[in-house]
A and B are shown apart, each in its own frame.
Chain A
Amino acid sequence: MAHSEQEILAGLAEIVSEETGLPTDSVLPEKSFTDDLDIDSLSMMTIVTLAEEKFDVRIPDDEVKNLVTVGDAVSFIAGASKA
């Protein structure tokens, strides 16, 4: 089932918040996972794994490096869940 970008952002913010302890309202589309949210590669892979389950999508490993910002991840998941 497809999710709206707003739903994806909210769901992703919950996952990131659980992983990092940051408040959900700090997880904004323009934020960089590494530079702004201080997420290391192991945490990023945890977020990817949880997001795949939550949104029922597949995020290939070689796609993860392209997901620089939260917005990049939202767009990718939105595109993948339409397919």
Chain B
Amino acid sequence: MTTDASGALRRTALHDAHLALGARMVPFGGFEMPVQYTSILKEHEAVRKRAGLFDLSHMGQFTLDGAGVGAWADALTVNKVATMKPGQARYNIFTNDRGGAHDDVIFYRLDENRWLLVVNASNADKMWNVVTAEPASGVELKNLHGERALIAIQGPRSIEWLQPYVEADLASLKYYACAETRVKETRDPIVIARTGYTGEDGFELFLPSSEATGVWDLLLAENRRHGLEPCGLGARDVLRLEAGMPLYGHEMTEEITPLQAGLAWAIKFDKPAFRGKDALLAQRDAGDYARIAALVMEGRVPARSGYPVFADGARAGEIRSGSWGPSVEKNIGTALVEPAAAAEGSSLEVEVRGVRHRALVVPMPFYKRPKP
């Protein structure tokens, strides 16, 4: 279910804050979410050059408690869970028997026996079914979807602008590390992690919904005049595409496996067994699978999801994501194409409204942040 019983869209705790900021709201994952406040390009630029603030409270948050979580999750996912140390976050993918993806997720190990699992908003109900279908002793699951908030601050100045308000020492929090801390002047503990979906440095704050507006306003009050911008899902999608990060439903689906999505690094074939392992092994060994390629359009015409892709005049696949890439200053996209067409340097054609336009296969990602 993506809506409540009446079919109405759900609202995050920050709904009124978004309206007060002039956000344009759209339905996403069963929630009414801000797609943009001022301009996708301005918000994108804020994140690349300064920092942006995102409400991601629509994402699914599950808590996993108990001594059995590591082994249980290792059987359902491609990456390693039990080997994670307290204070560590790790990207992972829940797979089906065919090696396709139920969802891509992040596990946060808060301490020895307490974990947070964050799933995509659009998959939150499906994922709750996936995890509760596999009961195990020593694993206690709780669904906090919609009950807790998630605020992300992303961009090079995130650490400077966030540090005054949290007790944790952010400089000592490494990329993909997490910690329990407090926002100063609030009572309840929150989880903070150095994770994100923009290709920039940044932090995600998992907190009780009751604290969301206070924290959001606190961060904007002082920092907005310096250039912290509230950012919507429109900018977020462009930022993640430039950074080469997959979006579930586009680069990865129940049919498109993590191997095809270019996520071999996350698949640990040395794990004794996990759901979909045999199918992924067979796909890897055969090697002839269609895969995600990064495309840059040569002209001004944007590629869009679903457009047909051709190699040497023959149909070779289709666009899965496409947008203007402001940091690349070109139209960029991903395409699921035959293996020969996916090679870097391949010259392909994308059919747009009946006309074929040239595109070049380039290395992923399109954008890498400058080294500090």
Q: Do chains A and B stick together as partners?
A: no
